[in-house]
Amino acid sequence: RTLGARPKIKIYSNPENYFQELITQATQDTNKSSPTTSVHYLATLLNEHVKIHSQSFNLTLMGGLTPTLALLQAQSLSPKEQLKLYKKIGDFSLFMSGVFINALTKRVMDLNYYKNLGKRGYHLAHSVAAAEEIREVFLDLSLNFLSYIEILHHVSEHIGITTHTNL
């Protein structure tokens, strides 16, 4: 760098664009190939959690039920409500596993719990979703859940939320 040269600063129109770039870079850094629709889905997931950062994360769904109990009760819901619930369970599990992986090692509900819960949530979302494109995204998220945990963990390390832990 020459004296007087200024570092280049990128300006993003919204956090989702920033997250999309970070996730794309993380897929390359971790040698994971991901469909564009899944990368976009992850960027949207992170963007939504940035928007609700002031709200507390709560493990209760459907009138105070834990995700596991909510899965059991979901059969009584309409397919549209089932899809919302399954997506919420998958998203929450992926976010917790990828971003807060270090904290999960000290909890009763560990990474395996969230991994299995998230895979199941996305698989069930795939089974009830009507639109083919989103069905494929949910199937990809279910089948490659561990890869997406690693990608989100890589992004969270990059932005300083977590420190390196072997998956």
With a CB cutoff of 8 Å and minimum separation 6, the contacts of 98 are 148, 149, 150, 151, 152, 153, 155, 156
Backbone angles phi, psi at 40, to 5 degrees: -65, -40
Residue 65's DSSP bridge partners are 61
User: If you average pLDDT over residues 49-60, what whole number do you get?
Assistant: 50
Residue 128 pLDDT more than 60? yes
Residue 34 · residue 140 · CB < 8 Å: yes
How large is the C-alpha radius of gyration of the chain?
17
Q: What is the pLDDT of residue 137?
A: 96
pTM here is: 0.71
Residue 149 · residue 115 · CB < 8 Å: yes
Strand ranges inside the chain, DSSP E? none
With a CB cutoff of 8 Å and minimum separation 6, the contacts of 67 are 59, 61, 89, 92, 93, 117, 121
Q: What is the pLDDT of residue 12?
A: 56
With a CB cutoff of 8 Å and minimum separation 6, the contacts of 150 are 30, 32, 98, 167
Backbone angles phi, psi at 65, to 5 degrees: -80, 150
- What six digits make up the tokens of 12? 């993003």
User: If you average pLDDT over residues 26-50, what whole number do you get?
Assistant: 85
User: If you average pLDDT over residues 26-49, what whole number do you get?
Assistant: 86
Please tell me whether residue 9 adopts helix, strand or coil conformation.
coil
